[in-house]
């Protein structure tokens, strides 16, 4: 009887140790849910669904062995305030990370940058309270709106990224804006080839975002 008791104690300790060791690894293997919260640039305006940014990003991650679902929460025409208004239902509880791409319509419409900034601040604050890591995609104001507008608009993205510790991708349309070969006929929305450029350029920042998610999961497993 005593031998059986000792065996049970040893077995429990062994399996407990193995479970603890497997915990972080199991978390690292779990598929991630990433929500791409944005406007038409995320939604894939003028493109088939498989050519939209979230779908192509998901395939690029899979090619690197990263299993993730990138949900398309893009709404064409949306502003930063619009994104704030739908934040709770666009970013469900199971979300591991958010790629935030909003602001282009605010700039194109010449909306008061102070209003855009308050909405962006509120979005980042809400996601921080939910402990959801964020990749913030910056936007630049059209230069025909004047230097004062650009000085008020452009810096909000890096400044608020620093405030909230978000990963920053300085300009979502980097390498694509102004290139007719990479845009649709309207000159504003990327073509499928343009989305390929965006995905290739932003991918290292997305991997940084995922590393933060994994680190958070590991910390949670260790507590």
User: Given 39, 40, 154, 191, which residue is catalytic?
Assistant: 40
What count of other Cβ atoms lies within 10 Å of the Cβ of residue 92?
Answer: 11
Q: Where are the alpha helices (DSSP H) in 64-191?
A: 80-85, 87-90, 104-108, 113-129, 147-153, 156-164
Q: Where are the alpha helices (DSSP H) in the chain?
A: 2-29, 40-43, 53-63, 80-85, 87-90, 104-108, 113-129, 147-153, 156-164, 192-222
Q: Is residue 98 a contact partner of residue 73, using CB atoms and an 8 Å limit?
A: no
Angle at the Cα of 143 (from 138 to 147), degrees rounded to 5? 95
User: Given 78, 90, 154, 189, which residue is catalytic?
Assistant: 189
Residue 156: helix, strand or coil by DSSP? helix
Residue 97: helix, strand or coil by DSSP? strand
Closest CA to 104 of 189, 197, 194: 189
* β-sheet bridge partners, residue 37: 73, 100
Identify whether 90 is a catalytic site residue: no
Identify whether 39 is a catalytic site residue: no
Nearest-Å Rg of the Cα atoms of the chain is: 21
The Cα–Cα gap between 104 and 124 comes to: 17
Identify whether 189 is a catalytic site residue: yes
**Catalytic amino acids?**
40, 186, 189
């Amino acid at each position: 009887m005593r031998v059986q008791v000792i065996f049970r104690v040893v077995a429990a300790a062994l399996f407990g140790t193995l479970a603890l060791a497997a915990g972080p690894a199991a978390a690292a293997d779990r598929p991630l849910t990433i929500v791409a919260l944005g406007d038409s640039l995320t939604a894939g305006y003028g493109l088939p669904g498989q050519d939209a940014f979230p779908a192509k990003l998901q395939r690029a991650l899979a090619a690197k062995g990263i299993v993730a679902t990138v949900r398309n929460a893009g709404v064409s025409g949306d502003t930063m305030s619009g994104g704030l208004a739908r934040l709770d239902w666009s970013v469900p509880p199971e979300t591991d990370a958010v790629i935030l791409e909003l602001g282009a319509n605010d700039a194109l419409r010449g909306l008061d940058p102070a209003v855009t900034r308050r909405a962006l601040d509120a979005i980042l604050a809400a996601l921080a309270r939910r402990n959801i890591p964020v990749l913030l995609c910056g936007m630049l104001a059209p230069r025909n709106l004047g230097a004062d507008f650009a000085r008020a608009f452009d810096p909000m993205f890096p400044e608020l990224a620093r405030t909230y510790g978000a990963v920053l991708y300085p300009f979502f349309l980097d390498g694509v804006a102004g290139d007719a070969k990479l845009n649709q006929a309207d000159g504003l929305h990327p073509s499928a080839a343009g989305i390929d450029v965006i995905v290739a350029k932003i991918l290292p920042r997305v991997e940084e975002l995922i590393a933060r998610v994994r680190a958070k999961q590991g910390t949670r497993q260790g507590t």
